[in-house]
Structure 1
């Protein structure tokens, strides 16, 4: 079963919640290996979700083509193909419109997921950099 991005984002939040607060400086120490492992799994999950969306679109396009072929066969058998060419064109346009809507929906979903991921990762990177900066600014932990 594919790992869902939402589950991985939850894991990052859990890793942050499991981090230790450094007294007096308000910084958070996190398990770097755990965070990097989750980020690696995200790199795999994002393309998988995009592939899944593409497979759905391809399946829909295949079903539309199959339906069009069936309609054409029936019409040819009845000798009515010429009489309904206009209807065929309308159905093709409608199918193309619906396929475009599915693609747009898949693109919007992927954009939303990536924007949310970007936002969360930006926050995480900022937190990690702040922690590293604090540790590097005086060579270790601050003492009260």
Structure 2
């Protein structure tokens, strides 16, 4: 049990009694360990007599005072270590939560990006299908228009052929009529010429018949 006499740890006005100050060369934990080792050395180095250890009371109490003075600092350091540990744990927990939040946010972004990519793929597929449909419809319209133009051209060609045949027939009929009229005109002219010739010959015969016969 520690002494209640504080004269051993405080310097009085006469300077009697040793002044004990806690060591500050290292950490409090290291000081306590060293002082406990010294306390153990005091016990182990003390002489033995009749099976008992003779311990220097003043030296033992002085060493106990040193330990007692260093205990508050050691406890404070331990508490500081505990607080630091708790702070580190809190910081680690917050850091872990931040990492988890960032990972969840990134996962949501990735999911959103995947959704955007999927939506873009759906839009691209739909656009491609629309283009294919429009191309097919345009091809069908083109083929239909080509067929319509072909039929129209055939009809126009057929009409032109019939018109040409009709014109040819009309030309042939007109040529026959023209030739008939020309031949008829020639025939009339020839008939007139034959009549003139016939009349001329008749006149010549009459003239010859009306002349007197010469006597020899």
- Superposition TM-score, scaled by structure 1 size: 0.38
- Superposition TM-score, scaled by structure 2 size: 0.28
* Rg larger in structure: 2
Q: Which has the higher contact order (CA 8 A, sep 6+)?
A: 1
